[in-house]
C-alpha cells in the first residue's frame, strides 16, 4: 500500500511540475517546455527568425504586421487569424511558449492574442532569444513547421474593455486605470491621435518601468550600451514596489497607444497577484480620436505643422530621386 501511495503521489508531483504555473517563465522553464513538447512561437520577423531561433520554434512573420490592420492598428478579422494559426499548426488550446527579443512587448501581445482567442496554457519567455544566447543554449537557423490543424478561434470579450465600458469606468472609484505609455504621451506633449493627453483618472506607469533599466531603449539608440540586458524584468520585490500604490483586489484596466505595451503590464500585474486585470482594446487610438470622449491634459494635433513637415519630406525625397537619376546618367 505504501509503495502504491508513493507512486501515486510521485505521479501527481511530476504532473504538477510539468504544468505551467506562471505566465512569465525563465530559461530553464523554456527547456522544460521543449521537453514536454510545447509549441514554441517566435513572434519576430522572418529574417530575425532565420538568423537564429529556439530549436523547434515556428514563425508566421512579425506579429505586429501579420495580425494587425496597419490602418487601424487593430486585429485583422478572426477568420484571417484562424487561417494563419491553423496553417502554421498553432493550436491555441495546446501548451504554448511565446517569445521574441528581450523586452519586446509584441511577445506579450502574442500571449494576449492566444488568451483572447481561448488559449489557457500559454506562457511568455521575456528574455527571449537573447536569454537563450546568453545562456549558451543551442540555436537553430532552419525553418521549422508543424502539422496544420483545424481549430475554431473563439474570442473572449470578458478579457477586454470596450469603448462603452471605458466611458463608464472613468467615473468609477472602484476601478484603477493604468496608462502604460511614455510620460510625454500621457501629458499630451507627444500626440499620436487627433488629440493628446490621457484618460481621466488614469495614472502613468510606462511599461518600460517593468525593466531593470527603463532607459535601455534610449541608451541603445544613442549607442550608450551594447546590449539589451537592461530590458530584463525587475525582480518581484521591485515590481511590487512599482505598483505598491495600487490595490490588487480592485479591477484594473491597462491601456497604451494600441494595446501592445499594455499587454506586457497586464501580464506583469497578474504575476503580482492582481485578480481583475483587463486591457482597454481600442487604447489611445480609439479614445483620442473619439471627440466625445473626455480627455485630461488635452492637446490637439497641429495639422498645419504636420502638413508642412510632410511637404518638406516630399521635397527632400524628390531631390534625392533627381540626384540619383543624374548620377545614373
Place of cell 497641429: 302
For residues 286 and 160, the answer to whether their CB atoms sit within 8 Å is no
The pLDDT, as a whole number, for residue 311 is: 67
| CA dihedral (101, 95, 250, 286) positive or negative | positive
The mean of the pLDDT values for the chain is: 89
DSSP secondary structure, 75-139, as one string: E--HHHHHHHHHHHT--TTS-EEEE-STT-HHHHHHHHHHHHTT-SSEEEETTHHHHHHHTT---
For the chain, list the domains and their CATH numbers.
Answer: 13-154 (3.40.250.10), 158-205+243-304 (3.40.250.10)
**Gap between the Cα atoms of 181 and 152, Å rounded:** 33
Higher pLDDT, 317 or 112: 112
SS3 content of the chain, % helix, strand, coil (to 5): 45, 15, 40
Residue 29 grid cell: 522553464
B/e letters for 124-153, b = 16+ CB within 10 Å, e = fewer, are bbbbbbbbbeeeeeeeeeeebeeeeeebeb
Q: Locate cell 504538477: which residue? A: 16
Which pLDDT tens digit goes with each residue over 28-54? 999 999 999 999 999 999 999 999 999
Q: What's the pLDDT at 14?
A: 36
pLDDT of residue 316: 72
Between CA 204 and CA 19 the distance in angstroms is 35
Identify the pLDDT of residue 305: 52
Q: Taking the model in full, what pTM does it have?
A: 0.85
Mean pLDDT, to the nearest integer, of 159-173? 93
- Per-residue pLDDT at 1: 44
For 53-107, what is each residue's pLDDT tens digit?
Answer: 999 999 999 999 999 987 777 899 999 999 999 999 999 999 999 999 999 999 9
What are the two backbone dihedrals, phi and then psi, of residue 15, each rounded to the nearest 5 degrees?
-65, -40
Asked whether the beta carbons of 108 and 127 are under 8 A apart, the reply is: no
Place 15 in a pLDDT band, splitting at 50, 70 and 90.
Answer: very low
Contacts of 22 (CB under 8 A, 6+ apart): 123, 271
Q: How far is CA 244 from CA 28, 49, 86, 237, 239, in A?
A: 29, 38, 41, 10, 8
Predicted pLDDT of residue 308: 57
Confidence of residue 4 (pLDDT cuts 50, 70, 90): very low
Over residues 166-174, the mean pLDDT reads 93
Judge whether residue 7 has pLDDT over 70: no
Q: Which position has the grid cell 495614472?
A: 203
* Confidence at 6, pLDDT banded by 50, 70, 90: very low
Residue 163 binned pLDDT confidence (cut-offs 50, 70, 90): very high
**Does residue 246 carry a pLDDT above 70?**
yes
Burial (0-12, 13-18, 19+ Cβ within 10 Å), 239:
middle
**Contact, 115 vs 157, CB < 8 A?**
no
Beta pairing class for 122-125 and 68-69: unpaired
Tell me: pLDDT of 110 over 70. yes
Structure confidence by residue, pLDDT tens digits, 285-324 = 999 999 999 999 999 986 555 565 566 667 777 766 666 6
- When pLDDT is averaged across residues 238-250 and rounded to a whole number, the result is 97
Residues in the chain: 329
Is residue 54 within 8 Å of 129, Cβ to Cβ?
yes
Q: Take residue 15 and report the three cell numbers written for it.
A: 504532473
- Span 99-125, average pLDDT: 96
Please state which of the ranges 12-16, 27-31, 123-127, 266-270 shows the lowest mean pLDDT: 12-16
Q: What is the dihedral of CA 302, 305, 310, 314, to 10 degrees?
A: 170
Residue 58, helix vs strand vs coil? strand
What is the CB neighbour count within 10 angstroms for residue 200? 13
**What is the arithmetic mean of pLDDT over 261-267?**
97
Q: What digits encode the pLDDT tens for the residues 195-232?
A: 999 999 999 999 999 999 999 999 999 999 999 999 99
Amino acid at each position: 500500500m505504501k509503495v502504491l501511495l508513493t507512486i501515486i503521489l510521485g505521479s501527481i508531483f511530476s504532473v504538477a511540475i510539468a504544468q505551467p504555473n506562471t505566465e512569465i517563465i525563465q530559461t530553464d522553464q523554456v527547456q522544460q517546455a521543449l521537453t514536454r513538447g510545447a509549441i514554441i512561437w517566435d513572434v519576430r520577423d522572418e529574417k530575425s527568425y532565420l538568423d537564429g531561433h529556439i530549436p523547434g520554434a515556428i514563425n508566421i512573420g512579425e506579429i505586429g504586421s501579420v495580425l494587425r490592420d496597419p490602418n487601424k492598428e487593430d486585429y485583422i478579422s478572426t477568420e484571417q487569424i484562424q487561417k494563419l494559426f491553423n496553417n502554421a499548426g498553432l493550436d491555441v488550446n495546446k501548451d504554448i511558449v511565446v517569445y521574441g527579443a528581450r523586452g519586446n512587448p509584441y511577445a506579450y501581445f502574442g500571449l494576449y492574442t492566444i488568451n483572447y482567442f481561448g488559449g489557457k496554457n500559454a506562457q511568455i519567455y521575456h528574455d527571449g532569444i537573447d536569454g537563450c544566447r546568453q545562456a549558451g543554449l543551442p540555436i537553430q537557423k532552419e525553418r521549422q513547421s508543424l502539422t496544420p490543424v483545424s481549430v475554431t478561434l473563439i474570442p473572449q470579450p470578458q478579457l477586454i474593455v470596450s469603448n462603452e465600458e471605458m466611458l463608464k469606468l472613468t467615473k468609477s472609484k472602484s476601478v484603477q486605470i493604468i496608462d502604460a505609455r511614455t510620460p510625454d504621451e500621457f501629458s499630451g506633449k507627444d500626440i499620436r491621435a487627433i488629440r493628446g493627453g490621457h484618460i481621466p483618472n488614469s495614472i502613468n506607469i510606462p511599461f518600460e518601468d517593468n525593466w531593470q533599466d527603463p532607459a535601455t531603449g534610449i541608451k541603445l539608440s544613442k549607442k550608450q550600451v551594447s546590449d539589451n540586458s537592461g530590458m530584463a524584468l525587475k525582480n518581484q520585490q521591485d515590481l511590487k514596489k512599482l505598483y505598491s500604490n495600487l490595490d490588487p483586489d480592485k479591477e484594473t484596466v491597462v491601456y497604451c497607444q494600441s494595446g501592445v505595451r499594455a499587454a506586457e503590464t497586464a501580464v506583469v500585474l497578474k504575476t503580482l497577484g492582481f485578480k481583475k486585470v483587463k486591457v482597454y482594446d481600442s487604447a489611445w487610438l480609439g479614445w483620442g480620436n473619439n471627440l466625445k470622449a473626455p480627455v485630461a491634459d488635452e492637446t490637439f494635433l497641429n495639422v498645419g505643422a504636420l502638413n508642412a513637415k510632410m511637404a518638406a519630406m516630399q521635397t527632400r525625397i524628390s531631390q534625392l530621386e533627381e540626384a540619383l537619376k543624374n548620377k545614373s546618367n
